[in-house]
């Protein structure tokens, strides 16, 4: 599977390339573009590094996925024109959870340090006092690891750990999505 800058993957239908989101994998897995499909459409692969490539057309233009799911061509490769190969089967799927009828009244909060920074304690106390009917849970980095492993297993935790720690906000965002999926869907 050829994965784009947008973490989408290329599909082909009647020799027309398009790309779709990973979450739509099951709807489009029969249309996944192979290397042979790409070459049949007139593209040659130019290696970029150990796992990445550019797709160059015969006229020298570079294949460029667009945010709306279409493809265009660029005169030179910048960011959107870099692709990677994803071998190893289907993308990871998060197991479905039973849907509940309400979202539990829990405030989930996380930050990078292992303990709450002193300057945030007054804000947290005010948040709790304004929302007395809510349970408050703070997650340290270790708590995030434990939560993801407990509710989603090692495969999803590995995805989380692959995010460079320098991008703490990206790690926190993934955790928030997983937390919302778990607690927002069932009790």
pLDDT top residue among 105 and 101: 105
pLDDT band at 186; cut points 50, 70, 90: very low
**CA dihedral of residues 147, 148, 153, 159 (deg, nearest 10):** -160
Average pLDDT, the chain: 84
> What average pLDDT score do residues 58-76 get?
87
C-alpha 90/C-alpha 71 separation (Å) is 23
- pTM exceeds 0.75, yes or no: no
């Amino acid at each position: 599977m050829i994965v784009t800058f947008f973490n989408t993957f290329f599909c082909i239908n009647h020799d027309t390339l398009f790309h779709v989101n990973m979450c739509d994998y099951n709807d489009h897995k029969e249309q996944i573009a192979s290397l042979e499909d790409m070459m049949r459409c007139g593209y040659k692969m130019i290696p970029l590094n150990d796992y990445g490539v550019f797709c160059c057309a015969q006229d020298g233009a570079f294949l460029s996925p667009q945010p709306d799911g279409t493809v265009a061509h660029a005169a030179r490769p910048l960011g959107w024109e870099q692709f990677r190969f994803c071998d190893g089967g289907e993308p990871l799927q998060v197991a479905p959870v039973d849907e509940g009828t309400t979202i539990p009244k829990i405030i989930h909060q996380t930050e990078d340090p292992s303990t709450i920074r002193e300057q945030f304690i007054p804000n947290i106390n005010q948040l709790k006092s304004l929302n007395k009917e809510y349970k408050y849970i703070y997650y340290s980095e270790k708590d995030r690891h434990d939560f993801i492993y407990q509710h989603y297993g090692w495969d999803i935790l590995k995805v989380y750990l692959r995010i460079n720690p320098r991008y703490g906000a990206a790690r926190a965002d993934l955790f928030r999505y997983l937390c919302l999926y778990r607690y927002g869907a069932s009790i």
